[in-house]
Structure 1
Amino acid sequence: MTVETQVVVIGGGQAGLAAGYHLRRLGLEFVVLDAQAAPGGAWQHAWDSLHLFSPAAYSSLPGRPMPVQAGQTYPDADHVVGYLTDYERRYGLPVHRPVRVAGVHRDGEFLRVETDAGLWRARAVISATGTWWRPFLPAVPGRADFSGRQLHTVEYRSPRDFAGQRVVVVGGGNSGAQIAADLAHDTELTWATQRPPRFLADDIDGRALFDVATARRRALEEGRTDTGGVVSLGDIVAVPPVREARDAGRLKAAPMFVRLDRDGVVWADGTRAPADAVVWCTGFRPALSHLAPLGLRGVRGHIATEGTRAVDEPRVHLLGYGDWTGPASATLIGVGRPAREAAREIAGLLAQEPGRGPAPVPTRGSGQDLGGVQGADAGREGAEQNP
Structure 2
Amino acid sequence: MEHAKAVVIGGGQSGLATAHALVRAGLKPVALEASDRTAGSWPRYYDSLTLFSPARFSAPPGMPFGGDPDRYPHRDEVVAYLTAYAARLRADIRTGLRVVAVRADGAGFTVEVEGGGQLWSRAVVAASGSFGRPHRPDLPGLEAFAGQVLHAADYRGPAPFAGQRVVVVGAGNSAVQIAAELARESRTSLATRAPVKFARQHPLGKDLHFRLTRTGLDTAPPGRLLKTPPAPPVLDDGRYRAALAVGAPDRRTMFTRLTDGRGAWADGTAERLDALILATGYRPHLPYLAGLCGALDPAGHPHHRGGAAPAHRGLAFVGLEWQRSPSSNTLRGGGRDAARAARRLAAHLARSRPPAFLVRCVST
TM class, shorter-length: 0.7 to 0.9
Choose from 50, 59, 83 the match for 1:85.
83
Q: Is this contact kept in 2: 1:320–1:326, CA < 8 A?
A: no
Are the aligned partners of 2:125 and 2:317 in contact in 1 as well (CA < 8 Å)? Answer: yes
Contact 2:189 2:252 in 1 (8 A): yes
**In 2, Cα distance between the equivalents of 1:26 and 1:35?**
25
What residue number does 2:149 align with? 150
**Cα deviation, residue 89, structure 1:** 0.5
Number of the residue aligned with 1:28 = 27
Aligned residues: 343
Could you tell me how far apart the structure 2 residues matched to 1:253 and 1:155 are? 22
What whole-Å deviation, never above 9, does each CA across 1:345-379 have from its counterpart, x for those lacking one? 0000011137xxxxxxxxxxxxxxxxxxxxxxxxx
For 2:272 and 2:344, locate their aligned partners in 1 and report how far apart those are by CA, in whole Å: 55
**Partner residue in 2 for 1:102:** 100
Greater shift in the superposed pair: 174-183 or 246-255: 246-255
Could you say what secondary structure the match of 1:293 adopts? coil
Q: What CA deviation, in whole Å up to 9, does each residue of 1:11-67 have, x standing for no partner?
A: 000000000001111221210000011121111111011001122122111011011
Percent identity (aligned)? 39
For 2:250, the equivalent position in structure 1 comes to 252
Distance in 2, Cα, partners of 1:40 & 1:18 = 12
- In the TM superposition, what is the alpha-carbon distance from 1:264 to its structure 2 partner? 2.2
From 214, 218, 236, the equivalent of 2:219 is 214
**Following the alignment from structure 2 to structure 1, what is the Cα–Cα distance between the partners of residues 325 and 34?**
24
Deviation at 1:181, TM superposition (A): 1.0
Aligned equivalents of 2:245, 2:208: Cα separation in 1: 18
Question: Structure 1 counterpart of 2:264, which letter?
Answer: V
Task: In structure 2, give the amino acid aligned to 1:38.
Answer: R
**RMSD of Structure 2 on Structure 1 (CA):** 2.2
Q: C-alpha deviations, 1:65-120, integer Å up to 9, x for none?
A: 011269x9211000000000000001233111110111100011120001125001
Give the TM-score normalised by the residue count of structure 1: 0.83
User: Structure 1 residues 263, 134: CA separation in 2 closer, same or farther (over 3 Å shift)?
Assistant: same
Contact 1:305/1:325 (CA < 8 Å) preserved in 2? no
What is the TM-score when the length of structure 2 is the normalising length?
0.88
Residue in structure 2 matching 1:292, options 290, 299, 302:
290
**Paired residues for 1:129-208 under 5 Å:** 129-203=128-202, 204-208=207-211
CA distance in 2, matches of 1:330, 1:33: 19
Q: What is the distance in 1 between the residues matched to 2:258 and 2:61?
A: 46
SS in 1 for 2:103: strand
Alpha-carbon shift at residue 300 of structure 1 (Å): 6.6
Q: For structure 1, which runs of at least 5 residues remain unmatched after alignment?
A: 226-230, 355-387
Q: What displacement does 1:242 show?
A: 2.8
Q: Is contact 1:181–1:241 with CA below 8 Å preserved after alignment?
A: no
Question: Please, which moves more after superposition, 277-286 or 289-298?
Answer: 289-298
Is there any run of 5+ residues in structure 2 with no aligned partner, and where? 354-364
Amino acid at match of 1:348: A
CA contact (8 A) 1:145 1:260 kept: yes
1:286·1:321 contact (CA, 8 Å) conserved in 2?
yes
Distance in 2 between the 1:216 and 1:110 partners? 30
Structure 1 residues 275, 258: CA separation in 2 closer, same or farther (over 3 Å shift)? same
Q: Which amino acid aligns with 2:332?
A: I
Question: Alpha carbons of 1:58 and 1:213: their partners in 2 closer, same or farther (altered >3 Å)?
Answer: closer
Deviations along 1:117-156, one digit per CA (max 9) or x if unpaired, are 5001011100001111100111222222222111001000
